[in-house]
Amino acid sequence: MKTNPYLRAFLVVLTVLLAFACSEDYLDKKPDKSLVVPQTLEDFQALLDNADRVMNITPAIGMIASDDAFTTDNGWKGLLTATERNTYIWAKDTYNGEPCNDWNIPYQQVFYANVVLEGLEKIAVTPASEAQWKSLKGSALFFRAHALHQLTDHFTLPYTEKDAATTLGIPIRLSPNVNAPARQATLAQTYAQILEDLTLSLDFLPVHSPYKTRPTLPAAYALLARIHLTMAHYKEAEDYASKALALNSVLLDYNTLNPNDFRPIPRMNDEILFHSQQILYSYAVFSNIYADTTLYASYNDKDLRKTMFFRLRSPNRYSFKGSYTGSSPFFGGIANDEVYLIRAESRVRQGNSDGARKDLNALLEKRWVAGMFIPITETNPGSLLGIILEERQKELAFRTSRWSDLRRLGKDSKFAVTLSRVINGVTYTLPPNDLRYAFPLPNQEIQNSDVEQNPR
């Protein structure tokens, strides 16, 4: 067959088209521009900056179970989730089949941190990128430690030196491999991991960040101080608190705030070291959730916190409006006021009453009406400790600290309290050191892994 010129042209066009279309990278095109396989420092930064959905969220059931607030029979009935109603009366079964974000979200933070930590190992550090690489490494370690610590504060029994090695801890995951079986560590191992992460993060974190949602060196020192306090390591708690305050000791002067504002405490204010907010339950929003009456009564009339933190809802009923988030969700992060209080407590517990008083007065001076504050002069260490613990409750109200304090102070007969609540005529109590200080693990965890349920 002689080649027809049309055919030849046709075949040529065909060949050209084939050759064009087959080029190697034709199939490398991303199916969706917004997709990314996280590989660069920017990709990892974007993951850790997922603030309001994942990374800067803190459990809230501890706050609901603590004595900062109370509600009425109707308020209790109206709570939107069974989790809240059960938590409020310290019921044995907490979730009633509902998903448990208090457990899931911190573990999501651990997962994100692990993705970043693994990814960072594959990136060659250049002088230009070193600062960012280090900040990401430190941040991921910080986030992992913070999440694990929040989990231990809710899902394990309180830490004691004596029992930690035999107390049930929580699953520790150090790799992003979701198929790796969960290994439930002892409480001692869990705390060791948290401290190891945080101590390592100190080598990498920057001193400042323009964003309160990103971890910094003072935030890591403050978190170390907080964790050592829960472990009753007062020397370490004091040291880390001092290191934190050496870098950042700013306190808000409440005299500069307007008590008539709907939310007098501004969001992302200078006192905050690390911003995080508690999971938003109806307990934080509903109108018939009131501040504990004893708590409210404990503020002096010259104490600005009385007007900055509370508003009258109905006769003798006050609602909390002083969240450091500047909106409805309760604050779950770390601020300098807490660091001052940690150091004050650690100092007095080590016999340094002068130092403790100094810290306490430095804080309270900024909380009282200017010129009206009478500095605390108590010299008896036992009494001073009592004052400091009371100030902790007043200053850190509606944060995660009260639950943590109730757990650790249960061991100390001087400060241990039995909580009680009456709903529909039934009295519920939570004695110190009760097994219910450890929330049950959610069903989805128990059913899909080999971890052991907390006895309640």
Partner 1 sequence: MKNLLLVFLLFCGSIDALCQMRVEGRVRSAGDRQPLPGVNVIIKGTTQGTATDSDGKYTLNVREKDVLIFSFIGYAAQEVVVGTEAELNINLVEDIATLEEVMIVSTGYEQVPKERATGSFAQIENTLVNRRVSTDVLSRLEDVTSGLIFNRNVEGATDISIRGRSTIFGNASPLIVIDNFPYDGDIANINPNDVESITVLKDAAAASIWGARAGNGVIVITTKKGVRDLAPHVYFNSNVTVAERPDMFYVPRMSTSDFLDVEKSLFAKGFYESAESSDSHAPLTPAVELMIAHRDGLLDNQTLDQRLDALRGLDVRNDYEKYLYRNSTNQQYALGIQGGSAHNRYNVSVGFDKNLEGLVGNSFNRFTLNASNAWSLMKDKLEVSLGAYYAEVRKEKKNEGLTNLRFDSASPLYPYAQLKDGAGNNLSVVKDYRLGFVEQAQSDGLLNWKYTPLDEINYADNTSRVNDLRLNARLAYKITSSLRAEALYQYWNSSNAMRNNQSIDSYVTRDQINKFTQVDSDGNLVRPIPASGILDANDVQSSSYNFRAQLNFGKTWDDHDVHALGGYEVKELNTDGNTFRYYGYNNGLATTQRVDYTTFFPLYNNVYQYYSIPNNDGVQSLTDRFVSYYGNAAYTYKRRYTLSASGRKDMSNLFGVKANQRGVPLWSVGLAWTATNEGFMDTAWLPYLKLRTTYGYNGNIDKSVTAYTTAVSLGYNSLTGLPYSTILNPPNPELQWEQVRIWNTGIDFETKNQALSGSIEYYTKWGKNLIGSSPFPPSSGVAVFRGNNANTRGSGVDLVLNTQNINRGIKWTTNFLFSHLTEKVTSYKIKAAPTNYVYSGSGSALVSYPLEDKPLFAIYSFDWAGLDPEGNPKGYVEGVESTDYAAIIGKSTPESIVYHGSARPTSFGSVRNTFSWRNFSLSVNISYRLGYYFKRSSVRYANVLSGSVDHADYGARWQHPGDELFTSVPSMPEFIDINRDNFYLNSSALVEKGDHVRLQDVNLTYTLNRATLARLPFSNVQFYLYANNLGILWKATDVALDPDYPTMKPVRSFAAGVRIEF
49 binds partner 1 (CB under 8 A): yes
In the numeric block, which tokens belong to residue 126? Answer: 């250049």
Residue closer to partner 1 by CB (options 5, 127) is 5
Kind and range of the H or E run holding 107: helix 101-121
Cα–Cα dist 433/406, whole Å: 9
76: tokens are 């209790």
Q: Which residues contact 285 (CB under 8 A, 6 or more apart)?
A: 328
- Closest distance between partner 1 and the C-beta of residue 241, in Å? 27
- Scan residues 159-178 and list those touching partner 1 (CB under 8 A): 170-171, 173, 176-178
Q: Which is nearer to partner 1, 234 or 318 (CB)?
A: 318
Which of residues 84 and 405 has its CB atom nearest to partner 1 in the complex? 84
Name 201's Cβ contacts closer than 8 Å, sequence gap at least 6: 137, 138, 139, 141, 142, 145, 215, 220
Q: Does residue 14 interact with partner 1 by CB under 8 A?
A: yes
- The whole-angstrom separation of Cα 259 and Cα 408 is 33
Q: Among 132, 249, 350, 449, which residue interacts with partner 1 (rule: CB under 8 A)?
A: 449
Nearest alpha carbon to residue 332 among 292, 274, 291: 274
CB 3, min distance to partner 1, A: 10
- Here the tokens at position 25 are 């990278």
Q: Binding to partner 1 by residue 378, rule CB under 8 A?
A: no
Q: Which residues pair with 186 in a beta bridge?
A: 168
Smaller CB separation from partner 1, 56 or 353:
56
| Residue 327 binds to partner 1 (criterion: CB under 8 A) | yes
Nearer to partner 1, 43 or 378 (CB): 43
Residue 206 near partner 1 by CB under 8 A: no
Q: Would you call 160 helix, strand, or coil by DSSP?
A: coil
Q: Which stretch binds partner 1 (CB under 8 A): 11-19, 187-195, 376-384, 402-410?
A: 11-19
Using CB under 8 A as the binding rule, whether residue 373 contacts partner 1 is answered as no
Q: Which of 59, 218, 264, 326 binds partner 1 (CB under 8 A)?
A: 326
Task: Considering the complex, state which of residue 45 and residue 249 has its C-beta at the smaller distance from partner 1.
Answer: 45
182 binds partner 1 per the rule CB under 8 A: yes
Contact between 426 and 173 under an 8 Å Cβ cutoff? The reply is: no
From candidates 2, 22, 162, 207, binder to partner 1 by CB under 8 A: 22
Report the distance separating Cα 329 and Cα 318, nearest Å. Answer: 17
280-319: contacts with partner 1 (CB under 8 A): 285-288, 313-314
DSSP, collapsed to helix, strand or coil, labels residue 231 as coil
Instruction: Considering only residues 232 through 291, tell me which ones interact with partner 1, judged by CB under 8 A.
Output: 262-263, 267, 285-288
**Strand pairing class (426-430; 289-291):** unpaired
Contact window for partner 1 (CB under 8 A) among 33-41, 123-131, 220-228, 236-244 = 33-41
CB of 292 to partner 1, least distance (A): 19
CA distances from 98 to 59, 71, 112, 419 (A): 15, 22, 24, 25
Give the C-alpha separation, 221 to 406, whole Å.
23
Phi-psi region of 90 (alpha: psi -120 to 50; beta: other; left: phi over 0): left
One-letter amino acid for residue 323 of the chain = S
Torsion 435-441-447-451 (CA) sign: negative
Q: Which is nearer to partner 1, 300 or 443 (CB)?
A: 443
Residue list 88-117, contact with partner 1 (CB under 8 A): 93, 96-100, 103-104, 107-108, 110-112, 114-115
* Residue span binding partner 1 (CB under 8 A) among the ranges 26-34, 161-169, 197-205, 377-385: 26-34
**Rounded least distance, CB 30 to partner 1, Å:** 6
Helix axes 336-349, 217-230, angle to 10 degrees: 40
Does position 211 bind partner 1 by CB under 8 A? Answer: yes
Minimum separation from the CB atom of position 435 to partner 1 (A): 18
Residue recorded with tokens 């913070």: 146
Nearest CB to partner 1, comparing residues 287 and 418: 287
**Is residue 46 a contact residue for partner 1 (CB under 8 A)?**
yes
